[in-house]
Chains A and B, each alone.
Chain A
Amino acid sequence: MSRGVRSGLFLVSAAGLTALLLWAVAGLPDFGHYRGPYGKVLNSVAVGERHTTNVVAAVVFDYRGIDTMGEEFILFASVMGVALLLRNPHRERRQVPARIQSDAVRLAGIGFAAGLLVLGLYVVAHGYLTPGGGFQGGVVLASAFVLVYLAGDYHAYRSLSPTPALDVVGATGAGGYTVVGIVSLLLGSAFLHNFGPLGATGKLASGGSIPFLNIASALEVSAAFVLLFSEFLDELVVRPEARSE
């Protein structure tokens, strides 16, 4: 099919799809007049029930905890898929010269990486109190590693993020989440049902099992992202293979 024919076909069908979707959203409640009762109930009971001030985190790590477990394993499986697709043990590695020669850039990079690391830890630790959480903080933590690559070089990045250690961290995160769920079962409640002392509202030690799930997901997400970056950056240093044509 030529590009012209394809574009024409697309424009006709996209116009139809857009019209149908606009018709569908016209049937939704007016913007700002949300009518779902579930969120309203959670907003009024979650703080009292779970002693966490961030209701979104309470939904993610408690009320819909099993959903988040699936989400974590999607990420886990995707990193595994990328590693499998990009693996190529037979290609030799070459030394890549450091791209950045400026000491000022390196120094600023190290400073920002350290700051990002602290910010990431803060976002993770306070995830169930203020905006943030294991997923958001995990991505911030992983980006600190990317900054090491950007301001430094590939070898500095790689020596900071050895793949075996990342594998262990990621597996601990994914496995730890499941273990918390199994502990709930052993305590006689439903899988991933909240347990443990709820603590004082608004303090770090609050929320029962929510902090554990929060930290487990932070481990999994940060390791998964650093692994993803490593897989793609490794493409830089492997020699292009001789083509067999």
Chain B
Amino acid sequence: MSYLPYALAVWILAVGLYGVVRSRNLIHLVVCLTVAQSSTYVLLLSIGYVNRGTAPIFADVPKGTRAVDPVVQALTLTDVVVSVTVAALLLALAIQAQRHADTTDPDELAEMHG
């Protein structure tokens, strides 16, 4: 059972990638990519978890209380920001595709030339 959170991250990645491959709409594709990327948050946060550890914030608990790892949490914050920036750029590209090709279906876009 102790590997279940890691396996969950792998599952989320697989589901997200499946959505990307099967997508018929660029907006849907971006959402699926975000789902796939969210697997990294689950993986990072579950790696840093310490049994019966509290949040690494010592405002209300005494110094020296057992706490989870703060470094992976900071990395997750970076991860979230990167995910948002990628999603924003891809959505802008989807609007461009709609403007120029009049479609947001990746399959129809692939048939376009020039």
Is there a chain B Cβ closer than 8 Å to A123's Cβ?
no
B residues with a Cβ closer than 8 A to A are 2-7, 9-11, 13-14, 17-18, 21-22, 43, 46-51, 55-59, 63-64, 67-74, 77-78, 81-82, 84-86, 88-89, 91-93, 95-96, 99, 102, 107
User: With A and B bound together, what is the CA distance between A130 and B55 in angstroms?
Assistant: 10
* Cross-interface CB contact of A75 among B7, B81, B102, cutoff 8 Å: B81
Per the 8 Å Cβ criterion, residues 188-214 of A in contact with B are: 202
Given the contacts A31-B2, A39-B69, A130 and B57 also touching, CB distance less than 8 Å? yes
User: With A and B bound together, what is the CA distance between A231 and B96 in angstroms?
Assistant: 13
B-side contacts of A81, CB under 8 Å: 89, 92
Given the contacts A48-B63, A74-B81, A55 and B93 also touching, CB distance less than 8 Å? no
A-side contacts of B3, CB under 8 Å: 25-26, 28, 30-31
* Cross-interface CB contact of B88 among A54, A79, A131, cutoff 8 Å: A79
Is there a chain B Cβ closer than 8 Å to A167's Cβ?
no
Given the contacts A56-B74, A71-B81, A78 and B88 also touching, CB distance less than 8 Å? yes
- Contact yes or no, B59 A74, CB < 8 A: no
B-side contacts of A10, CB under 8 Å: 17-18, 21
A-side contacts of B89, CB under 8 Å: 78, 81-82, 85
User: With A and B bound together, what is the CA distance between A54 and B49 in angstroms?
Assistant: 17
Which residue of chain B has the shortest Cβ distance to A21 in the bound complex?
B10
Top 5 nearest A-B pairs (CB, nearest first) are A39-B69, A78-B85, A25-B6, A32-B51, A55-B56
Which residue of chain A has the shortest Cβ distance to B17 in the bound complex?
A14
Chain B nearest CB: distance from A13 CB in Å? 9
A residues with a Cβ closer than 8 A to B are 3, 6-7, 10, 14, 17-18, 21-22, 25-26, 28, 30-34, 36, 38-40, 42-44, 46-48, 53-56, 58-60, 64, 67-68, 71, 74-75, 77-79, 81-82, 85-86, 129-131, 133, 135, 202, 228, 231-232, 235, 241, 243
Interface of A is mostly: helix
Given the contacts A34-B49, A48-B63, A54 and B10 also touching, CB distance less than 8 Å? no
User: With A and B bound together, what is the CA distance between A118 and B60 in angstroms?
Assistant: 23
- Contact yes or no, A53 B13, CB < 8 A: no
A-B contact pairs, 12 of them (CB 8 A): A36-B71, A36-B72, A38-B71, A40-B69, A42-B56, A54-B59, A58-B70, A59-B70, A59-B74, A74-B81, A135-B77, A232-B91
B-side contacts of A31, CB under 8 Å: 2-6, 46, 49
Chain A nearest CB: distance from B9 CB in Å? 7
User: With A and B bound together, what is the CA distance between A40 and B64 in angstroms?
Assistant: 10
* Cross-interface CB contact of A32 among B2, B9, B22, B56, cutoff 8 Å: B2
User: With A and B bound together, what is the CA distance between A79 and B16 in angstroms?
Assistant: 25
* Cross-interface CB contact of A36 among B17, B48, B96, cutoff 8 Å: B48
Chain B nearest CB: distance from A36 CB in Å? 6
- Contact yes or no, B95 A39, CB < 8 A: no
